[in-house]
Amino acid sequence: MSTQNTTRLTITRPDDWHLHLRDGAALEAVVADTARQFARAIIMPNLKPPVTTTEQAVAYRGRILAALAKAGGDVGAFTPLMTLYLTDNTSAEEIFRAHESGQVCAVKLYPAGATTNSDAGVTDLLGKCAKALEALEKCGMPLLVHGEVTDPSIDVFDREAIFVERVMKPLRRAFPALKVVFEHITTKEGAEYVRDAEGPIAATITPQHLLYNRNAIFQGGVRPHWYCLPILKRETHRQALVAAATSGSPRFFLGTDSAPHARGLKEHACGCAGCYTALHAMELYATAFDAVGKLDQLEGFASFHGPDFYGLPRNTGTLTLVRETFQIPEELPFGNTALVPLAAGETLAWRATS
C-alpha cells in the first residue's frame, strides 16, 4: 500500500532509543527538543567523566529533569532512561545495583577510542568484561553496542562490517541469551546480521543514515555538519537501512543518536562527529519513510519495537505529523554559542504537532 497521499499521520507517542544530552548549559539548550517529540529516551553515558555507576546515573537523571524544568519543558511527560558506560573495571555488583535502581535500563559498550569521549572505553571485551556481561545476561538488561572496530589500520568505512565478524559474533556466541542492541547501524552487513541472527538482538537506525549517503559530506566542499560516527556510507548501504527500517521487523527501531556540538567545534580543523536531530527527528524519519511509500511502518519503528525489545510498556499518548512545509532553522541557541541542526536551512514536507 502506498502512503504518498497521506496528509496527516497520528501515531502512538514515540521514544528515542539512542540520545546524547550532554550536561550543564548544553543539556539545558537541547533537552526540551527531545521531550517535545518523545516520551522516553535512552540517555548515552559518555560525559566527561563517563557515567559508570548507578549513583552517577541517578544524579545525571536528576540534572536532566531539572534542566527540562528550567527550559520550560513538561517534566511529567518525559522519562530519561539511564545507561552506564561499560569499562574494563565494571563489576557484576554494579550491574545488579543498576538493574535494581529501576532507573538504569541498559549498559553501553564503546570500544576504546571509537567516538566522542570514549577514551575510557573497553579494551578487551571478553577478557575483561566477562563478569559484567554475565550479570547483564542474568538480569535481562540490554548491552548497547557501538559497533566499530577501532584498529587504525582498518579503513573507516569498513569498521562496522569488520566489527560484526571480530566482536559481535564472538560476543553473542559467548553470551547467547544477552540482549544486544547494535546501535546506529550504517551498513548492509550490519542490517543483514541483525535481521538473520539467532537470539535477542535488535538495532537502532538514525535519521541521517536513512536520508543521506556519504556524498552528503562532500557536496560542494567539506560539510562538517554531515559528519557523524559511524560515518555515512555509500548509497547501497543507505538503501539496505531503509529496507530494514521499513520492513516491519521488530528488530529495528528508532534511535536518533542526536549529538549536539557547538558550531565552532564542528566547523573546525578537526571537527567533532555528530549530527543534531532532536529538534526535527520525527520530521526527518517521516521524510525517509514517505520517500519509499512506507509511512504505515513508521509507528512500529518509532513507537512499538523499542519498548517491546526492552520489555517496557508502549506509550499511551500520540504524536501527529502533518504534510506541511517545515523549514529547518539555520542555527539554534546553545549556551553562549550556536548549534547547527542537521540539514539546516533545508525544507521538509512534514511537521510534527503535539
Residues designated as active site: 257
**Residues binding Zn ion: number (CB under 5 A):** 1
Nearest distance from C-beta of residue 194 to Zn ion, angstroms: 17
- CA proximity to 257, closest of 36, 5, 42: 42
Which range binds Zn ion by CB under 5 A, 254-262, 286-294, 310-318, 335-343?
Answer: 254-262
For residues 71 to 110, the per-residue mask of contacts with Zn ion, x marking binding by CB under 5 A and - elsewhere, is ----------------------------------------
Nearest distance from C-beta of residue 167 to Zn ion, angstroms: 17
For residues 110 to 149, the per-residue mask of contacts with Zn ion, x marking binding by CB under 5 A and - elsewhere, is ----------------------------------------
Q: Give 17 or 304: the residue with its C-beta nearer to Zn ion.
A: 17
What is the Cα–Cα distance from 298 to 14, expressed in whole angstroms? 10
Judged by CB under 5 A, the chain residues 210 through 229 that form the site for Zn ion are none
Choosing from 28, 189, 257, 299, the residue that interacts with Zn ion (CB under 5 A) is 257
What is the Cα–Cα distance from 32 to 26, expressed in whole angstroms? 11
- CA proximity to 256, closest of 63, 86, 50, 44: 44
Extract the C-alpha cell encoding 87. Answer: 569499562
User: Dihedrals φ, ψ of 339, to 5°?
Assistant: -125, 130
Q: Give 122 or 295: the residue with its C-beta nearer to Zn ion.
A: 122
Which range binds Zn ion by CB under 5 A, 24-32, 167-175, 250-258, 291-299?
Answer: 250-258
Q: How far is CA 337 from the centre of its chain?
A: 24
Nearest distance from C-beta of residue 323 to Zn ion, angstroms: 30
Residue pair 185/194 in contact by the 8 Å Cβ criterion = yes
**Taking the alpha carbons of 305, 306, 308, 309 in that order, is the dihedral positive or negative?**
positive
Residue pair 32/68 in contact by the 8 Å Cβ criterion = yes
Residue nearest to Zn ion (CB): 257
Q: Give 257 or 283: the residue with its C-beta nearer to Zn ion.
A: 257
DSSP 250: T
DSSP per position, 202-223: EEEE-HHHHH--THHHHTTS--
Q: Give 58 or 273: the residue with its C-beta nearer to Zn ion.
A: 273
Residue 125's SS3 state is helix
Q: Give 48 or 131: the residue with its C-beta nearer to Zn ion.
A: 48
User: Dihedrals φ, ψ of 229, to 5°?
Assistant: -125, 135
Nearest distance from C-beta of residue 4 to Zn ion, angstroms: 32
Which range binds Zn ion by CB under 5 A, 172-180, 245-253, 255-263, 334-342?
Answer: 255-263
What is the Cα–Cα distance from 329 to 189, expressed in whole angstroms? 35
Long-range contacts of 312-315 (CB under 8 A, 24+ apart): 312/40, 312/105, 314/12, 315/12, 315/13, 315/14, 315/15, 315/39, 315/40
Q: Give 20 or 251: the residue with its C-beta nearer to Zn ion.
A: 20
Nearest distance from C-beta of residue 229 to Zn ion, angstroms: 8
Nearest distance from C-beta of residue 128 to Zn ion, angstroms: 22
Q: Give 146 or 172: the residue with its C-beta nearer to Zn ion.
A: 146
Which range binds Zn ion by CB under 5 A, 23-31, 61-69, 252-260, 300-308?
Answer: 252-260
Q: How far is CA 8 from the centre of its chain?
A: 26
- CA proximity to 306, closest of 294, 314, 298: 314
Which range binds Zn ion by CB under 5 A, 154-162, 207-215, 234-242, 251-259?
Answer: 251-259
Nearest distance from C-beta of residue 14 to Zn ion, angstroms: 18
- List interacting residues with Zn ion (CB under 5 A): 257
